[in-house]
Amino acid sequence: MSQQQNNYEEIISYLIMARKHKKEQRIDSELIFAYAMGGERFLSELEAFVNEPNQADILASGDRCFDARLYLSAEILFKRIKNNHKLANTYVMLKKYQAAYDAAKKADVPKVWKSVCFACVRAKEFRMASLCGANIIIQPDHLEEVIQHYEKFGYWEELISLLETGMSLERTHNGIYTELGILFAKYQPARLMDHIRTYAQAQKLLIPKLIRACEQYQMWPEAVHLHSIYDQQDQAILTMMEHSPSAWRHDIFSQNIVNVANNDLYYRAMIFYLEEEPLLLNDLLKLISMKIDLTKTV
């Protein structure tokens, strides 16, 4: 009845009396929850109680307080049993982001890092989000989820900054370089070619994935460059002919045409030059003269 009327002072008095006569887990657990429901004025009593010998299930009581949004009480309980996983989530709800980061660092599990990172992103606490995010993006299985969360709120500049930081971490991997390239294609296209030239030859890019992104966002010169260094000269030639206003360059075309596997591309290239670059047709023919059927050429 007292609980229904929110008269927790009476409940506390009753439970204190009851535990003098009987040592039981349920009594001590209910006393903890009564202290919690009593509000901030009972927090000191709660802290004193959990620090003395008792029969309560501290973890279950902490979960119960958390579910009831009694976060200050949950903080006391999770600190008592040193459950950094749940403590980090509690600090997030209390908007104590530095404390949440410290707890997540002690727990050091991806699930906790993500929880704190995502909460910091939502709260626009980007410095703290970056510190947490750096511990997630080094694990390839979780990188995409971080990217999706930042993009969901439109924070692509902060996301790019996070991935650029990730490239300097000890446990960096190809996924970070590749996803950063995809973000450049989407949001900062002027930076993509330099990124490709810097890291593709060092084998730090997942080239097929980045090619798909270049095609999706119509970054044709970058797609040609990636095809070339990935030994896909046929595709590089086709891309230049199909998207010639932005993708064609005679020097790049010349470098690739001599290494194509499909001989039919020689003749398609001739027609392309006749239609679009007739003054350079002789230069093309000199390059491939030893590879073509002269009768077919005529």
Task: Select from 38, 66, 81 the last residue of a domain.
Answer: 81
d(CA 140, CA 131): 17
174 lies in some domain: no
Residue type, 154: G
277 lies in some domain: yes
164 lies in some domain: no
Determine the pLDDT at residue 1: 38
Q: Closest Cα partner for 216 from 205, 204, 208?
A: 208
CATH code for the domain of 229: 1.25.40.10
Determine the pLDDT at residue 42: 87
110 lies in some domain: no
Determine the pLDDT at residue 20: 82
Q: Same domain for 77 and 192?
A: no
d(CA 206, CA 195): 13
| Residue whose tokens read 């003054």 | 279
* Predicted confidence (pLDDT) per residue in 179-205, tens digit: 999 999 999 999 999 999 999 888 999
Task: Select from 81, 101, 124 the last residue of a domain.
Answer: 81
Q: Closest Cα partner for 110 from 87, 135, 93, 89?
A: 135
Determine the pLDDT at residue 6: 56
Assess contact for 160 and 179: CB atoms under 8 A.
no
166 lies in some domain: no
121 lies in some domain: no
* Weakly modelled stretches of the chain, pLDDT under 70: 1-7
Query: Which helix (H) or strand (E) segment is 267 a member of?
Result: helix 264-276
Cα-based angle 171, 177, 183 (whole degrees, multiple of 5): 135
Assess contact for 271 and 298: CB atoms under 8 A.
no
Task: Select from 59, 81, 103 the last residue of a domain.
Answer: 81
Overall number of domains in the chain: 2
Assess contact for 46 and 36: CB atoms under 8 A.
yes
Query: Which domain does 22 fall in, by range?
Result: 1-81
Ordered DSSP codes for 58-93: HHHHHHHHHHTT-HHHHHHHHHHTT-HHHHHHHHHH
Residue type, 179: E
7 lies in some domain: yes
285 lies in some domain: yes
